[in-house]
Structure 1
């Protein structure tokens, strides 16, 4: 008889959970029913719920433009104006940039403009390749030295040396400033929680506002030229370093802090002699992020006078010169791979034991530095006698421009009908219907549904954040273009997930396949976003379909990586338990692995959305009509208010998606007992 209460109590324990699940579904059905009723029958009654009235719009663009004009024309600090301050900052940044540019590209000049006379030539191409090869050998041995030498040799052989050195000069200035600035902000956020609370939303905006939107106010404040481009690069590349610094300092074991306190360290000594050295492994990962983001931004900043490889790609895109554009794009790839591998090698080296210092002479103590200086001096003197040592000979340069143009011509002649058929089929059956669907939704209903989703996933606070951000998109007059952005982003993310998640599943099950896939996606993530536009334009011309192809290619890597990471994190004991119960491999995958990996896959989807939104702004160059195009038009007209409002709208979309998906992933983890 005692067994009977036990049998009846087990279902009783599940009744509250079942009741909560039923209430949850009922609430969702009720919200969806209200939304559908408003969508289908609400327009005749409440037209304002579909088209936000212009009389109610917040004139944020005008306010920002007026504020910017006041800053430039009237703002003063007594002894100097705001314009004087920005020009002073520009001059400070310009000094190291001119030094780097003189060393790598122009040489040291006397005079200005066309009357300038070269006093001392720049470093020869042989010297630069030798120095970076020595750096590669010091960081990662012969293999890395060979990779770096091949990448820089490619720049010389294919005639991209001069532009690449201009780009490299900008990076050599932007990266140290970005690392130092991010490190100091991160330390301040770690020390003072209130400062971190105030800084976090600013960092969120800086990382979600499109890169083009940065360029508009910076162009207004700092003028047109490479200095303004470096300032834009700093703003873009600093937030990841700040976040990684805070995380790295918090991850330092408490034993290290206790040891510092025991030996009487002051607060400054604790920071710089205990915490920062202990966190150097993670901090080097931040340096790698700053380098790659700086390279990406320097390319984009060619629009405001950065010059270099980015300008070459942009000019080729405008001329539709596929051959020249691909050559410049491949040069960007080579430079990105070299810088990425070097920074990764030094990040790995930071965690290795430090070898004891040599006690010999100067050569024994600093062999790499001595070798680099010797090569620079020898090639510098030899270059005065032999021009081929100083500058790579034109007669030995190769060009694949005509080859790629011929390949494109051959593809277009033989496969034009096929590509057009695929393009038109996707446009007519998927893209255009989805675009019309989103364009016809009421802003009030969408805002309400997003707020409801926030409430169900994260409570009233998340509901308020999501609802207010969605309302601001409508209230600033950006709703129509925001829906076009959402449609392009949504379709691209769906395709990226449909391709990336199965590839991730296959890679997680096969170690050899994953080793190859990881190399491919690592390479894809080192490529600046401009590079993805070239093959898309080459094959499909301009338009929404071309933009979608470029966005999918750019954003697929996180979908693959997070899927593999989630599946590999599944506890092997659970898999063994499934096998012991007689589960087939398919059942183990679907019933155990994918369920437990779902939170990681959701986070990968979140990152895919972030990547897609950042790329969508770049695709304004190929004819989209979304918020990215609005930012691009504002850049061409130097309209700060228009550009920032459109940029804020993109940032709001990104923040809404990030908060909802992150909350959903957290709830899923809790439901699966993974926290």
Structure 2
């Protein structure tokens, strides 16, 4: 028998895998043995430091951050004005367009302030707003889109959410342009200067992974309590995707177009604004869409610092456990998100289509019929509201409510299935959650740091090893290790459960077009439904605690697992599948040996996004009693402890970055092996 045939098939297909895996196992076993022997030899009083990071060695980052923030607020100056004057000036600048938008949509134009304010001009009639968005939909996407956005805004009016929705829309109309403009400018700077790109990349990583709760306190210190502070927080949260997509879009512009610009003698400014930006318009509009969706994702958290609107309604319903009111406000956010999402996508497609201009002399109305019609609708709506103030708001007699229905559904479930739900909760707590929690809590921090470094080195080399080791060490050195392990335990179990649910559903829907269309609607709803809404039914059915948090995290994080699984399988080359059938493979073999293997990079990216969603939701679940980094951030917010909140938020960000880099490196290696 030859040497080749004597080897296992896996070793033949991938030569060198078994030896490298053996070396890794040997290295880990040797390291673990040495660590245990050293701890035994040195004695528990000395060797204990490898398991519990000594308090005397902790880095007092929180204290230094708090002192620095106080210095910024109280003492920092630029000569003619202080840092506080600068932030208040920025807040006043933001307040001008916000007040105008709010007056136009909700409050009307007022004279005076507070309780003494008198309405001079009423807001646009709700019918006028519905006609206006319908006109925008018809211009961007035709009758179907116009009908969809009219139905969405009609839903807001019909279910009594109009006033709160207009407050939220006013914030979005201000936050989105600011996020888009600054994101575009940062992306352009990163594209032009490599040092800017290198500087903003880690900053963007932190902005996207630090929980928003962590920087609400600094925002309150700098900008005060109110809608303008909420808009600043929304911009910080929603801007990073615009920067990244701008960079990707500009880099994707064909070299021929850039060469043409140089040949005709374009200046750098003309090259940017006349050649590069128009050529990347499709990608830039996708960035605008992402800014809109993330801004809507932020509305509830922003309500904690004075935003008001639908977010405040959801938060208030959660505090009094009114699931019906919370669901109605949550679905109102979904309706608003769907309308704005479809409109932005339609405008993105229209931006990529060359405009057809008619020749001949025409007046302004003929050249811009839709803009003229929109202005006419606004003027007529204002006039109608002045003549009949009842038209400015939705009459209460015409509104509906499903709040009682949802409350009764939860009540019925509690009455009829309490014993079964309690048995499920107790069983999973005793046999799954608590054992894993204790196991992770007893792991030595030094061993975990070493294992993460080894994993980084094996996947992508020394740079990733240093990154994972440094970030994990900083979690321990700042005193966050114990809470970080609780975060990893909850997030890890939630991701496993979400994957076990989402991957089979994605596989099932990938080749069933009708099911996939319906499933996309469900996924879009799950991803636009505010995260706080998931907590209410979980709390009412299972009370507070880790299990309740787990249920909410799984419900929120299952969407990307489904989406990426289905997309990965749909992208498998049909020719490869046909070749498998021709070789006599069964449907199960085609699925497991061909489709899932070829879709493995997408599955890894889906796992990455599932982890990111779980971590973002984990901070929200601090409201139901978890003892992790999320609660640490929330406690810091309630106590206005800037340093404590930022350090805990950075620990969450470090966990997210470590998971992201390791999974991305793993996906890259898988892709390289398959090419």
Contact 2:548 2:624 in 1 (8 A): yes
Q: 1:326 to 1:376 in 2, by over 3 A?
A: same
Structure 2 partner of 1:26: 23
Contact 2:121 2:386 in 1 (8 A): no
Contact 1:451 1:464 in 2 (8 A): yes
RMSD of equivalent CA atoms: 2.3
1:379: how far off?
Answer: 3.0
Contact 1:125 1:392 in 2 (8 A): yes
| 1:602 aligns with one of 590, 601, 604 | 604
Question: Equivalent residues in 2 for 1:466-477 (5 A)?
Answer: 466-477=468-479
1:368: how far off?
Answer: 2.1
In 2, distance between residues paired with 1:526 and 1:547? Answer: 19
Structure 2 partner of 1:134: 135
The answer to whether the aligner puts 1:53 opposite 2:50 as a matched pair is no
In 2, distance between residues paired with 1:36 and 1:291? Answer: 53
Q: TM-score, normalised by structure 1?
A: 0.95
Structure 2 partner of 1:624: 626
Structure 1 partner of 2:351: 350
Residue range with higher mean Cα deviation, 20-29 or 330-339 = 20-29
Offset from partner CA, 1:187-233 (integer Å, 9 cap, x none): 00000011101110111111110111121211111111111110111
Question: Equivalent residues in 2 for 1:149-298 (5 A)?
Answer: 149-298=150-299
In 1, distance between residues paired with 2:277 and 2:504? Answer: 40
Tell me the secondary structure at the aligned position of residue 184 of structure 2: helix
Offset from partner CA, 1:400-453 (integer Å, 9 cap, x none): 222322222222112222222222222222111111111111111111111111
Question: Equivalent residues in 2 for 1:9-24 (5 A)?
Answer: 18-19=15-16, 21-24=18-21
Q: Any gaps of 5 or more consecutive residues in structure 1?
A: none
1:268: how far off?
Answer: 0.9
In 2, distance between residues paired with 1:304 and 1:382? Answer: 35
In 1, distance between residues paired with 2:34 and 2:526? Answer: 45
The answer to whether the aligner puts 1:92 opposite 2:93 as a matched pair is yes
Tell me the secondary structure at the aligned position of residue 355 of structure 1: coil
Residue range with higher mean Cα deviation, 525-534 or 63-72 = 525-534
Q: 1:554 to 1:15 in 2, by over 3 A?
A: closer
Residue range with higher mean Cα deviation, 360-369 or 37-46 = 37-46
In 2, distance between residues paired with 1:393 and 1:639? Answer: 45
Q: 1:616 to 1:358 in 2, by over 3 A?
A: farther
The answer to whether the aligner puts 1:546 opposite 2:553 as a matched pair is no
Q: 1:341 to 1:541 in 2, by over 3 A?
A: farther
Q: Any gaps of 5 or more consecutive residues in structure 2?
A: none
Contact 1:225 1:305 in 2 (8 A): yes
Contact 1:558 1:607 in 2 (8 A): yes
In 1, distance between residues paired with 2:522 and 2:26? Answer: 43
Question: Equivalent residues in 2 for 1:140-539 (5 A)?
Answer: 140-357=141-358, 359=360, 360-539=362-541
In 1, distance between residues paired with 2:156 and 2:113? Answer: 28
Tell me the secondary structure at the aligned position of residue 239 of structure 2: helix
In 1, distance between residues paired with 2:589 and 2:221? Answer: 59
Structure 2 partner of 1:664: 666
1:21: how far off?
Answer: 2.6
Offset from partner CA, 1:452-478 (integer Å, 9 cap, x none): 111111111111100010000000000
In 1, distance between residues paired with 2:319 and 2:91? Answer: 29
Contact 2:123 2:385 in 1 (8 A): no
Residue range with higher mean Cα deviation, 393-402 or 165-174 = 393-402
Tell me the secondary structure at the aligned position of residue 77 of structure 1: coil
Residue range with higher mean Cα deviation, 500-509 or 111-120 = 500-509
Q: 1:420 to 1:241 in 2, by over 3 A?
A: same
Structure 2 partner of 1:105: 106
Contact 2:160 2:401 in 1 (8 A): yes
